[in-house]
Structure 1
Amino acid sequence: MFLEKIKSAESGVLLYGITPPKVGTLPERVAEIAQKTMERLATLDIDALVVYDVQDESARTKEERPFPFINALDPFAFASTYLDSLPVPKIIYRPAGKFSASELSEWLEGLHTHNFYPVFVGVPAPDFPVKTSLQEAYTIWSKYQDTSVIGAVTIPERHNVLNDEDVRMLDKMNCGVSYFISQCIFNLEYARQVIEDLALSCNRQNIKPPTIIFTITACGSAKTLQFMEWLGIHVPDELKEDLKTSDDILEKSVRICLDIASALTTFCMERAIPFGFNIESVAIRKAEIEASIDIANGIGQMLKAKGVRKSSIDSQVTTAINE
């Protein structure tokens, strides 16, 4: 139902995000990780699974990376080979600039064959040699626009500095993008400002707004908090202090995440912006992954209680009746 929800700008979209296992992991271990992932996700009522393309962003900042970078398996190969039996659509990230036009064309054809959906992201560093621009990548994708949707990334922290995120989003909408997945949200005010400015820009230009999908993640340790900040996620000082001084940082962060999701739901509903949530675990610790599952369930229940989400089963029944 993901495709229909995005094309109809239906709010309450619920995604879950994962990263593939590391390069060099033995095939039997990859299969085991995939099986455990599918077992966890089987308990969730999600519309699609996001599979990230992990990039080395060390050149983006002079700060030392809290965790060493290790290349991950190709997200499309992992999803199509090991997660094919998971009955939800897959959204695959790809840095378009790292590939030639012919390579992107072949990749998009593979995605379309599997009913997967692309999200193009930028290159890992400003000086990275670009083979294909984002605009060129969107043009290559446009042949699938009638039967697919394409997403992009939005970064509230960037808007706080440059104050042009709404312009960037409108430019990408002109290229065919219909939904945006945010960087992890811990600064509620930054996210609200993006929503506010986007709503104003769309109203001025008489444009229907895109769907904004806010990424939410738990923080289970001081090390995870440090890593999130290294990634460019802004955590307000007061909230950071609350986490650091909490008796149970993971439990505290789960409550914060649910509060942020509830506040964003109200804010988007008031401004008629279609929205949803993407839940992930930045860390690979079992406790933090399990907490992300709890957050996904909690947000799903909140959305249903506020009347902005039907379960996937309810949506399928409604579609069948309408057909």
Structure 2
Amino acid sequence: MFLEKIRSGESGVLIYGITPPKAETTAERVAEIAQKTIERLHTLDIDALVVYDVQDESARTTEERPFPFLNALDPLEFASGYLGALNIPKIIYRPAGKFSEEELTAWLEKLHQNNFYPIFVGVPSPDFQVKTSLPEAYKIWSKHRDTSVIGAITIPERHAVLKDEDVRMLDKMSCGVSYFISQCVFNIDYAKQVIEDLTQTCSKQAIKFPTVIFTLTACGSEKTLRFMEWLGIDVPEELKEDLKKSANILEKSVNVCLNIASELTAYCMERAIPFGFNIESVAIRKEEIEASIFMANEIGQMLKEKGIRK
């Protein structure tokens, strides 16, 4: 089970990430989307399902958003109300700073009742008026620590600029965080540097290394590529040009993701650190959704062949 794998530091964790339907979607249509999601995922050999909390990050940058922002359904409500037939643990994202301590306490209680697991994320923009700080949110969660685990996000691109992602991760670990899910990885050097620096820091301080789950997502068009960059995902220039020139950008990006998964697997195995992968499916195009299912199956098989996933 996901809980035991994280607590024991077992490698080969495989999860799948989705976004809820848009807020204006009718209840009937939401049920249809949920049913299709259940049908696609029930045969996948995954440890948990991530349901993202979609935030408007337009205030974070002056660049125009390639796709218009549309509010989505609350991820906890969607997971608990529509995905119950999918009998796997659910990981729910929540921007803690948008809610009061009382609201977060009530939310965590409902999460706990459903046997779901939380990940607190930052607010959508630096000037957002924070109601509850991340350390305060972790403290509220701590009453559930005997029967739960809490994760956090890590952003390799931030480390490339500020050189302090390992410190940020250690701060969160001191608050009870035991695993991290990365921002989507296309720059493998950035991901490796975070691992390298965190390994050294943990070794110096005799701290148990957390599980790091690398996010991979297929890219089906140049517009999606621009959106990824708008989100802050670094795509190396040479790779970007290769994707743009490819006769089939989706197929090319899938192969790139599979190669990244293989290389990161070897890198982490050499260092005996716990790791896993999160395969994102945030697109609405059928081809991209099917590509994500293919990637999850391929990466799961690769992990089994290497003897790190049963």
Q: TM-score range by the shorter chain?
A: over 0.9
Q: Which residue in the other structure is 2:13 paired with?
A: 13
What's the CA shift for 1:142?
Answer: 0.2
SS in 1 for 2:307: coil
1:132 aligns with 2:132: yes
Aligned-partner residue type, residue 80 of structure 1: S
Q: Which residue in the other structure is 2:169 paired with?
A: 169
Displacement over 4 Å in runs of 4+: none
Q: Structure 1, residues 247-269: CA drift from partner, whole Å, max 9, x if none? A: 11111111100000000011111
What's the CA shift for 1:24?
Answer: 1.2
Q: Which residue in the other structure is 2:45 paired with?
A: 45
TM, length-normalised to structure 1: 0.95
Say whether the 8 Å CA contact 1:80–1:114 is kept in structure 2.
yes
CA distance in 1, matches of 2:93, 2:36: 22
1:72 aligns with 2:55: no
SS in 1 for 2:223: helix
SS in 1 for 2:14: strand
SS in 2 for 1:309: coil
Q: Which residue in the other structure is 2:238 paired with?
A: 238
1:123 aligns with 2:123: yes
What's the CA shift for 1:282?
Answer: 3.6
Say whether the 8 Å CA contact 1:184–1:215 is kept in structure 2.
yes
Q: Structure 1, residues 52-104: CA drift from partner, whole Å, max 9, x if none? A: 00000000011100000000000000000000110000000000000000000
Q: How do 1:169-188 and structure 2 match up within 5 A?
A: 169-188=169-188
CA distance in 2, matches of 1:283, 1:183: 16
**How many aligned positions are there?**
310
Q: Which residue in the other structure is 2:258 paired with?
A: 258
SS in 1 for 2:278: strand
Q: Which residue in the other structure is 2:195 paired with?
A: 195
SS in 2 for 1:16: strand
1:34 aligns with 2:34: yes
Unaligned runs of 5+ in 1: 311-323
Say whether the 8 Å CA contact 1:228–1:282 is kept in structure 2.
no
Say whether the 8 Å CA contact 1:281–1:288 is kept in structure 2.
yes
CA distance in 2, matches of 1:231, 1:297: 26
CA RMSD of aligned residues (A): 0.6
Q: Which residue in the other structure is 1:95 paired with?
A: 95
CA distance in 1, matches of 2:62, 2:234: 17
What's the CA shift for 1:6?
Answer: 0.3
Say whether the 8 Å CA contact 1:224–1:282 is kept in structure 2.
no
CA distance in 1, matches of 2:283, 2:16: 14
SS in 1 for 2:128: coil
What's the CA shift for 1:270?
Answer: 1.1
Identity of matched residues, %: 78
1:105 aligns with 2:69: no
Say whether the 8 Å CA contact 2:16–2:281 is kept in structure 1.
no
What's the CA shift for 1:272?
Answer: 1.7
Say whether the 8 Å CA contact 1:98–1:131 is kept in structure 2.
yes
CA distance in 2, matches of 1:7, 1:84: 24
Say whether the 8 Å CA contact 2:17–2:282 is kept in structure 1.
no
What's the CA shift for 1:273?
Answer: 1.4
Unaligned runs of 5+ in 2: none
Q: Which residue in the other structure is 1:280 paired with?
A: 280
CA distance in 1, matches of 2:114, 2:267: 35
